[in-house]
Amino acid sequence: MSTDQKELLRQRVVKAACEYYQHAHVHHKEFEPGDRIPYAGRIFDDAEISALIDSSLEFWLTSGRYAEKFEKEFADYIGVQHCSLTNSGSSANLLAFMALTSPKLGERRIHRGDEVITVAAGFPTTVAPIIQYGAVPVFVDVCLPTYNIDVTRLDAALSDKTKAVMVAHTLGNPFDITAVKAFCDKHNLWLIEDNCDALGSRYLFRGQWCYTGTIGHIGTSSFYPPHHMTMGEGGAVYTNDPLIKRLIESFRDWGRDCWCPSGRDNTCSNRFGQQFGELPFGYDHKYVYSHFGYNLKVTDMQAAIGCAQLQKLPGFVEARKRNWQMLRDGLADLQDQLILPEAAENSDPSWFGFLLTVRRESGFTRDRLVAQLELHGIQTRMLFAGNLTKHPCFDEMRKSGEGYRVADDLSVTDQIMRDTFWVGVYPGMTEPMIEHMISVMRQQLR
């Protein structure tokens, strides 16, 4: 079969898949009260189908041309030098942290027993890599109504063992990067921004608008379906430091020293001419390991979907902002019963959800309100762990009194655990859906 014939056949296959999409996935049913309103969902069209089928026809099942394309375009979009794709946001956090344990960083590397400042009011995989490696998370309380780290507690959390700060921008709302970055710079600490819930959020840093995730030493993103854009599974780690980029990709790719992409050999032009450790001189560089790593690569089919999604990201971000503002305006007069979310100072959030904390004096409870919303088909979520230190995974450490440290107290974190929940603002929500959510909440609280 000639090249032209193959290309025509490829076009026919892709066209057929797009036609299937029109029949199987395009629905025009108008929302009616009682219909389920999910907190999040994938938004896609025939562009994602086309890219997915196109990549699958090559049957290059690991990272390939679409992964390279996405890494470049994503880095350009958020304004960083280097982006490395991985198979999930949780893996992105793992790689971000583990890169900082590399012996190649010399005195700045994180050792077992070193401390990392973080928060307990969030998702566990911001903290899990710290514990899994054998470092010590130091938990700092958060603030309402931003739900982010209380920067006034940073000094109290500091010790001579502190090596890093690793915190998330909560549900798209940037933490006080100015204060956290100044603290890290003053004490020569690493800063990892967990940006998994905040892709597209911006922060006014030193007079310049920057995307969150790009101000610290390393940023991470998740492309799980509920997030701002999706690959199904998938994540990214990004940095402006070429050494850190090399370390991230070494840990991602089995711990190897070689940087050749999959399917390519000898990009260093010295594959068989180097000395490594006690290996024989000239040992194949593709099989030299400088770290104890993993295999956390993304597939090219996932990356192909991501390339199509990235083109839609600006529209997704604007829809999230619009939906969040509708909810904020519609509930504005209920602040005697609810603590409503507020954007952090000097920020332009790309919201992941709409956080609500039921006031203790309201005569209502979070659990009662959540039950009523769910009964009316409105999906809700807690602020992830609430207080991570209260979960069974901390039982042994809590009993032994070792493995983590709490700076001062976590009273606001505990309040969030008891009284906070959130509803969605994802781009698939329509104005009637949001109006229904507002109506149900008002009925329950009046």
* 82, 169, 217, 227: the active-site residue: 227
* Number of structural domains the chain divides into: 2
In a domain, 90, yes or no: yes
> How far apart (Å, rounded) are the C-alpha atoms in residues 338 and 373?
15
Same domain, 81 and 175: yes
Same domain, 242 and 317: no
Q: How far is CA 195 from the centre of its chain?
A: 5
- Residue 348: is it exposed, middle or buried by C-beta count within 10 angstroms (0-12/13-18/19+)? middle
pLDDT by position in tens, the chain (length 446): 788 888 888 899 999 989 998 988 888 788 888 899 999 999 999 999 999 999 999 888 899 999 999 999 999 999 999 999 999 999 999 999 999 999 999 999 999 999 999 999 999 999 999 999 999 999 999 999 999 999 999 999 999 999 999 999 999 999 999 999 999 999 999 999 999 999 999 999 999 999 999 999 999 999 999 999 999 999 999 999 999 999 999 999 999 987 777 777 877 778 998 898 899 998 988 899 999 999 999 999 999 999 999 999 999 999 999 999 999 999 999 999 999 999 999 999 999 999 999 999 988 999 999 999 999 999 999 999 999 999 999 999 998 989 999 998 999 999 999 999 999 999 999 999 999 999 999 998 87
In a domain, 10, yes or no: no
Q: Shortest CA distance to 319 belongs to which of 346, 352, 342, 341?
A: 352
Same domain, 203 and 92: yes
In a domain, 279, yes or no: no
> How far apart (Å, rounded) are the C-alpha atoms in residues 408 and 388?
16
Same domain, 378 and 246: no
pLDDT of residue 260: 76
In a domain, 268, yes or no: no
Same domain, 340 and 292: no
> Do residues 256 and 286 touch, judged by C-beta distance below 8 A?
yes
CATH code, domain carrying 175: 3.40.640.10
pLDDT of residue 185: 98
pLDDT of residue 29: 80
Same domain, 295 and 331: no
Same domain, 330 and 296: no
> Do residues 249 and 84 touch, judged by C-beta distance below 8 A?
yes
In a domain, 248, yes or no: yes
Same domain, 358 and 390: yes
In a domain, 386, yes or no: yes
Same domain, 79 and 204: yes
43: its two tokens:
């938004």
Domain that holds residue 335: 311-445
6: its two tokens:
């193959």
Last residue of a domain, one of 302, 326, 355: 302
Q: How far is CA 145 from the centre of its chain?
A: 21
Same domain, 101 and 231: yes
CATH code, domain carrying 341: 3.90.1150.10
pTM of full prediction above 0.85: yes
**Strands (DSSP E) along 169-292, which ranges?**
190-194, 202-205, 208-211, 218-222, 235-239
> How far apart (Å, rounded) are the C-alpha atoms in residues 280 and 216?
40
> Do residues 190 and 115 touch, judged by C-beta distance below 8 A?
no
In a domain, 3, yes or no: no
In a domain, 142, yes or no: yes
Same domain, 151 and 85: yes
| Tokens 């690569």 -> residue | 297
> Do residues 253 and 295 touch, judged by C-beta distance below 8 A?
yes
Catalytic residue status for 227: yes
Same domain, 61 and 168: yes
Q: What's at 129, amino acid-wise?
A: P
> Do residues 57 and 10 touch, judged by C-beta distance below 8 A?
yes
